[in-house]
Amino acid sequence: MAMERGSKSRILVIGATGTLGRELVRASLAAGHPTFALVREPAFSDPQKSLLLRSFAADGVTLLKGSLQDFPSLLEAVKQVDVVICAVPSKQTLDQKLLIRAIKEAGCIKRFVPSEFGADPNKVQILGMDHGHYKEKIEIRRCIENEGIPYTYISCNFLMRYLLPSLVQPGLNTPPRDEIKIFGDGNVKAVSLMDVDVATFTICTIDDPRTLNMVLYLRPPGNVYSMNELVEMWEMKSGKILEKVYIPEEQLLRIIHETPFPGNRDFIFIYSAFIKGDHTYFSIDSSGLDGSKLYPHVKYTTVSEYLDSLL
């Protein structure tokens, strides 16, 4: 299915009703791409999802029925587009294998963006602790590369809606009022981005030859902070000093070890980001491309701006 010269790629979003998925659909539309969404049958009868799907259709999205478990529907959907972006939850990571088969068979896809949207699985230092979270993402990368499918991997580290609303306090939904736990020495920097900004950066890569078969790292300067810096920023904004309780690495590892999965999941990712430094310990230039340098026009919400919204 050849594209006309100068025309925008047709994009299929899988997982379009999810929090990130819907932002990918909107960013694709905003950039002028013909946009398709693969939607499971039950979503059409779900009150909230059907409302979202109606708004998509009104905006010009082509809705296709199908699922990652249904090969004929995948093949039919993939044949109608140039690019596939998958944004399913991590528990469905390995479900992308059938999609990879469909992409291979269709033979028309010029780029696949698999469902990663986190820390780079090839860079994390917690393999074996994370109950297969990153191992499965590595397995999908291997499948894509073995099949010779053109790809772009998006490494955005944390989404702001995860951990930041509580200032990295597992079990809380809002910032603490009196006392705050700081993991490790509090000086290791992690990265957080808004879903909408991750989606915008992702769509920028679609027709950009520079990002083909590359990892795009999203590490904008205004989104890289240590726990000490987060707390200091929050104290300045809220005008309230918090009592700091430092949780050393050994104590955090003990909590991880003694808390059954998935109850320890947040602690595992905190250990990865704020103690091991899995978001920031390596230089981007040696591993891939820096999204904020590649697309300096993208206006993103900084951590400071996000914290203002919590006040």
Question: Which amino acids are annotated catalytic?
Answer: 137
Q: Is 231 helix (H, G, I), strand (E, B) or coil?
A: helix
